[in-house]
Each structure stands twice: as structure tokens, then as C-alpha cells.
Chain A
Amino acid sequence: MKLKGKVFKYGADINTDVIIPARYLNISDPDQLAGHCMEDIDAEFVDKVKPGDIIVAATNFGCGSSREHAPLAIKAAGVSCVIAASFARIFFRNAINIGLPLLECPEAVDGTAAGDVLEVDLEKGEIKNVTSGKVFMAKPYPEFMAELIAAGGLIEYTRRRLAESRD
């Protein structure tokens, strides 16, 4: 799958409390969650983000609380993928489980500025900075995770496996 969008760039340790504050955790509709995405650190994000746009951040993206609302809010805001130097582990699992693609690539983070346009080839893990012309390669997923992603996340993967075992 090919993704293309404009970059919103953030620093290190972007935690799930700022991605979606706890006061909104009682919201279950992803579109409503999206309306509050990043609001405590970037009040303009929700107004500016367009479908396909890409979040680029430094190390430890998604640290803190285990709330799955965080990747849900980012995805529903229209963000097509998140590229970071590194991800916190619970967020990493959650994003895969709900179908938000993540790419780990410190070089791409260093080589990208806010507002740049990126093209991402998810299968190859290739990140092309259209603005600068530079190309970067992300770390490939472990095989087991690639299977989960291909199935559309954990819940879908489980449903299929259960259906197979009942056949």
C-alpha cells in the first residue's frame, strides 16, 4: 500500500496522555476521539490535519498509558501512518491491533521537516521525502507481526483463526 501526506513533526516522548487526554476516554466513537487528538500539545492539529497526513516524531512515541484510544484517535483523524525514531511497546502493539501503520526509522525523522510531503511504500518500508528527494528505509516488522497486520489487526486475526478452527 502506498501512502502520501504532509508531515506533522513532534519531539521525543509524545505520550498517550497528550495524544488523547484521559478526560475523553469515555468517548467510544473514533471520529469524536479524533476531534481531541493531540489537543494538549498542538491545539491546531485537528483543524490542519488532512486525510493521508503523516506524524513524524523522535524517540519513544506513544509512551505512558495503555489506552488504545490513542492510536484510534490518530487513525480517525486521518493520519495514514506514524514514523518515529522509536515507539513505546504498548502503543506499538495497540497500533498494529487497530490497523494504524507504524514505521521505525530514525534517519527519516532526522531527514524530515514539518510540512514536508512524504510518500510511503508500506510493503517495502520505503519512505520518500518528496520535498527533499531523499529516500529512507524503515526497519521491517517481525514475521509474526506482519501476519497480524496483513489480517487487519488482532481482533480480525482471531476471528479468522476461530472460524478456521470451527470449519
Chain B
Amino acid sequence: MIVGKTLAEKILSEKSGTDARAGDIVIAKVDLSFVQDTTGPLTVRQFQSSGIGRLARPERTVIFIDHAAPSPASSLSNDHILLRDFSRRSGCILSEAGDGVCHQIVPEAYARPGDVIVGADSHTVTAGGLGAFATGMGSSDVAVAFGLGKTWFRVPETFKIEVNGEFQKGVYAKDLILHLIGKIGADGATYKSLEFHGGAIKKMNMSGRLTIANMAVEAGAKVGLFPSDGTTRQFLVEVGRGNDYRPLDADPDATYEKTIRINASKLEPTVSRPHTVDNTALARELKGTKVQQVVIGTCTNGRLEDLAIAATILSGKRPAPGVRLIVAPASRTVLLEALEMGFIKTFIESGGIILPPGCGPCLGLHQGALGDGEACISTANRNFEGRMGNPKSFIYLGSPATAAASALTGEITDPREVM
């Protein structure tokens, strides 16, 4: 009897030319490989010492300068020089400081349903939102993918995440993924593929899908995959790549290691507490928790839809005294659109600081490092100790609505209280 395939098995079968099944080790063609400015210099050195010499496909190889952009220190500027030089000599694509976060630009400009994508950054999983088998690896692995245009994978077992019901007002994709990670734990899906299905997923826009896929790695997953459907087509048409669309779904008789069912209508605004993403609570349970900084942006929630939600809540209001509001659009395109829509004006009038498109304060390199004892609520994906540059600070994670509501009150706030 021939049993159907999961999305991961389908994509890896096609790209390896084998009948790939969970547990198999396959060598698959890589459709896009990329690095960013913290992992790129080591990748370049490993590539040079591998003896491969040439990129397999320069036009599908990208270097992003986004993590410390523009550079806050001469040592990082020197890393940027090394990356620009490599790009010039090898012929690969360079995405400059100010263009935006790799995980936003990859879906906007490169990722196609059914692609295999490897990036030297753990949040490479984001492109799973449009049905690409996209996963993070280290510099050596990506260096070899740069040169050979292929890499090895153990075909992952799959957890089917079935989401039905309607999201309540004030509850978003971010709350769903935080809830799921809280439920299964930071290692609950290690080595697995998370595959998202159900009525609430069918209706979810691409922005929400990318948010969820982005955080699959926070449960340890190798990929977070969504079927490619009409929403995917619409997104690709909007970014001028309608021809890259193809429908893609798992077979109805695919084998899943387990199925987790979530009723979206029961979800409430959810927050991760310091210092692990799975340390979740409801926003309303954290009332009274003071914050000194609010960050809206990053590869998790720096898209136009996210900024729209935050701007609606902040419009005509000011943050509570003692609260810094930082907004970092995920890409140049997002920033331009947010300008046109008036969101940027809203943020500035609301006392916000607009950062250039990029990773912003998420990883503690620049632009919003926290002081001793300070707490921040951020729309990012990680709240590890010291992540935002200071091990003596505290990071909470929530949706753009929860972050914006918390900015107004100066404490963690259920956004439904201010909507």
C-alpha cells in the first residue's frame, strides 16, 4: 500500500529525486542559500577553506546585512567590508544595510512554494509560511550549500497542528504560536516538522503564517510548513512574483507522528515571560508587570499588518511616562508602505522612535539595549537571558497589539482593554 506524504516528505522527495520518508537521510537540491552579517564572515571563511572555489548558483545565493545595520562599531563594519568583497568577487546577491531583515526579504523576493532554502540563521524557518522547506543551519553547512547547491537532511517526522475556530478580537497568529510553544515546550518539536492545517489556517493571511513559521524553531522544529493555497498566490502576486506560485499540500493519507488540535476561539492574548519562550502566561495574568521599553518590529512581527494593528491602538495617544517605544519595520518595502498608510506618522506622533529596517534591538547588538533591571515587551521571537544585550534585564514577548497596549499603560496589558 502506498501511503501519502507530509509536506516535508513531498518537498524533500522532489528535491532529492527519491521516495523520501520520515527518518531517511537524503541529499536535496538547495534552491536558495543565504547568510547574514553575524554568521556570514565565518561562512565565507569556511567556504574558502572548503576548496570548492565557486558558488553553485550566485543568483540564488544572498548575503544580508541586517543584524547590525547600519553598523554600530568598527569591528562590525569590517565584517561588512568582508561580506561586500565576497559578494563582488563571487557574484552573489548583496542585500545592504537598510534593505531589511533577511526573513522578511526572502518571502518578499525569493522564496517559492516547494523550495528548499537553507540560511545561516535559525529563523530561516519563516519562509515555511509560503510552503518552502526552509531551515536554519550553521556557517559550515551553508558554506557547503553555497558551493555545491545541495545539502543533506534527515527527513523529519511531522506534527500536524490543526487549528479551527475563529480568532477573537485582539488575538492574533502570535498568540497562537506562543500558546503552542507554551503547550509543547521549547524542545517539544526538536527535529520535527510542524505542519499547520485547519479552518483558521486556511483563513489566515500571509503575515500571520510567516509569524507562526518564524517561531517554529522556538519549539525546536526543523521547519514550520503551511500548504500553498490561494492566500499564497495572492501574496506572490502582490510582491510581483505571481509566476512563482504553485499549489502544494500534504496528501490526505499522510502519516503524522501526532496531531495537536487548537481551538482558535479559546485563545487569549499570550505572553512569554523571561527567560524562555515556553514560559507563557496570558497577558491579563501579568497585569502590573512594569515595562520600560516596548519594541514593535523584527522578523516575527515587523510587517505592514503588524504595524497597522499597533498604529490603530496607539493613534492619538502617548506611551506612559518612562516608556520608550521603538518601532523597526522589517523591510524597506514595509517602511515605504507604512509611510504611505500614515502608520509611521502615527508612531512618531505617539512618541515612538523609528529604526531603520533590520533586526533592531532583538539580539542586543545596537539600538535599544536594555539597562540593568529593565524590562521590555517585544514582538520578537526570543527572550533569552541577555538576548537584548544585558543579562540583568527581562524580556517579555507578545503580539503587536499586546506590545502597543503595554506601551500606553507602562505595564503588560491585555490589548482588549484598550481596543
Q: Among A1-9, A89-97, A106-114, A132-140, which stretch is in contact with chain B?
A: A89-97
Other-chain contact of A89, B52, B124, B222 (Cβ < 8 Å) = B222
B137 touches A66 (CB 8 A): yes
**B188 and chain A: residue at smallest CB distance:** A60
A interface residue count range (under 10 / 10 to 19 / 20 to 34 / 35 or more): 35 or more
Interface string of B60-87 (1 = CB under 8 A from A): 0000000100000101101100000000
**A41: Cβ under 8 A from any B Cβ:** yes
CB-CB contacts below 8 Å: B165-221 with A:
186-187, 190-191, 217, 220
B144 touches A63 (CB 8 A): no
**A131: Cβ under 8 A from any B Cβ:** no
The residues of B that contact A41 with a CB separation of less than 8 Å are 385, 391
A88 touches B73 (CB 8 A): no
Evaluate whether A28 and B136 lie within 8 angstroms (CB atoms) in the complex, with A17-B384, A86-B190, A158-B50 already known.
no
Q: In whole Å, how far is A100's beta carbon from the nearest beta carbon of chain B? A: 11
CB-CB contacts below 8 Å: B381-397 with A:
382, 384-387, 389, 391
The residues of A that contact B222 with a CB separation of less than 8 Å are 89
When chains A and B are docked, how far (Å) is the Cα of A94 from the Cα of B384? 20
**B122: Cβ under 8 A from any A Cβ:** yes
**B220 and chain A: residue at smallest CB distance:** A88
A66 touches B187 (CB 8 A): no
When chains A and B are docked, how far (Å) is the Cα of A89 from the Cα of B122? 10
B interface residue count range (under 10 / 10 to 19 / 20 to 34 / 35 or more): 35 or more
B52 touches A67 (CB 8 A): no
Q: Among B40-48, B93-101, B306-314, which stretch is in contact with chain A?
A: B40-48
Q: Among A19-27, A75-83, A120-128, which stretch is in contact with chain B?
A: A19-27
Other-chain contact of B187, A60, A98, A162 (Cβ < 8 Å) = A60
The residues of A that contact B144 with a CB separation of less than 8 Å are 154-155, 158
B187 touches A158 (CB 8 A): no
Q: In whole Å, how far is B177's beta carbon from the nearest beta carbon of chain A? A: 16
The residues of A that contact B363 with a CB separation of less than 8 Å are 17, 22, 65
The residues of A that contact B137 with a CB separation of less than 8 Å are 66, 90, 93-94
Interface string of A45-89 (1 = CB under 8 A from B): 000000000000001100111111100000000000000001011
A97 touches B138 (CB 8 A): yes
Q: In whole Å, how far is A19's beta carbon from the nearest beta carbon of chain B? A: 10
Evaluate whether A66 and B143 lie within 8 angstroms (CB atoms) in the complex, with A17-B382, A41-B385 already known.
no
Ordered by A's residue number, 9 sampled pairs between the chains whose C-beta atoms are within 8 Å are: A17-B386, A18-B391, A65-B121, A65-B363, A66-B136, A68-B139, A90-B217, A142-B154, A158-B50
Residues of A within 8 A of B (CB): 12-13, 15, 17-18, 21-23, 25-26, 28, 40-41, 59-60, 63-69, 86, 88-90, 93-94, 97-98, 142, 144, 153-155, 158-159, 162-163
Known: A13-B276, A63-B187. 20 other contacts (CB 8 A): A15-B384, A17-B385, A18-B386, A22-B363, A40-B386, A60-B220, A66-B39, A67-B38, A67-B39, A68-B139, A68-B140, A88-B220, A94-B141, A97-B141, A155-B50, A155-B140, A155-B143, A158-B51, A158-B147, A159-B49
